[in-house]
Amino acid sequence: MRLVLCANPASGAGSAGPKQLAATLRAHGADVEERHIDELDGAGGTLARGADRLVVAGGDGSIGPAAAEAAAAAVPLAVVPVGTANDFARALGLPDDPDEACALAADLGAAIRPLDLADAGGQPFVNAASAGLAPVAAQAAKPLKGALGPLAYAVGALRAAVAARPLAVRVEVDGREVFDGRTWQLVVANTGAFGGGSQTGSADPGDGLLDVAVVPAGPRLGLARRALAMRAGRLAAQDDVVHARGAQVVVHGVDLELNVDGEIHDLDRPARFGVRARALGVVVPS
């Protein structure tokens, strides 16, 4: 099996570096071509074309560009989660141990699960794009990841809950206005996993639709209830949360900084989101 390995040496911690991961894949019988994660930008399928699989080793922010490359090259994507949150791996039930993930990537008998590929203003993503509290929390968590690991996201969320202000937005889903007002958090989801263990609880990454959850502004003390709901995967089920599904989402607002799969992006206004139904095949356990 010929694998193209794109590894992010800056992701996560520990000894699972690109060279060791390549050696582990070869130990499982694969022919491995090593490429840097930065080579995914604008590759348009040329990086993975002719391979049996594209393997991405990194955090959640590395998976979207790798997914776009795999989709363009029409090859399955295998994920070795070596980031801090690893929300995508958690959502799909992928091994969180690098050695086990390499074994799965090189397994000819592994299943291939078709998944949608989402887009935020030209930025591919697989989990979620969030505005409001999420970017503030991500910025607060960033310097803490090395010391706290996934716990950094909880600390960042707590700091955001204390300091952030509601965001004024207008949200359209497939041309229909679904929300116009102030929100604590807006999530446009594919798998719906984000924040090192949170989940909207309603997204299906294989239905060809984006899942939208909008948390209306309210008393700051009520954010504790929201946090518990996200951790339990019940956010979209809360009575006052606006929930909608659609193939096209447009968000109007002034301060639209977004957390897209753990990376902060400042998108054009209005922010536009789309999805390509079942554009991607992901290697998963049989």
Q: With helix as H, strand as E and coil as C, how does 233-278 read?
A: CCHHHCCCCEEEEECEEEEEECCCEEEECCEEEECCCCEEEEEEEE
Q: What is the largest CA-CA distance in the chain?
A: 57
Catalytic annotation, pick one of 33, 34, 100, 263: 263
Neighbours of 10 (CB within 10 A): 10
Burial of 221 (0-12, 13-18, 19+ CB in 10 A): exposed
> Nearest-CA neighbor of 98 among 75, 70, 79, 126?
79
How far CA 3 is from CA of 53, 58, 118, in Å, comes to: 5, 16, 24
Give 106's contacts (C-beta < 8 A, 6+ positions apart): 1, 3, 25, 28, 29, 30
CA distance 77 to 275: 17
- Given a contact cutoff of 8 angstroms between Cβ atoms, the answer to whether 88 and 39 are in contact is no
AA letter at 172: E
Annotated active-site residue 263? The verdict is yes
Active site (catalytic) residues? 263
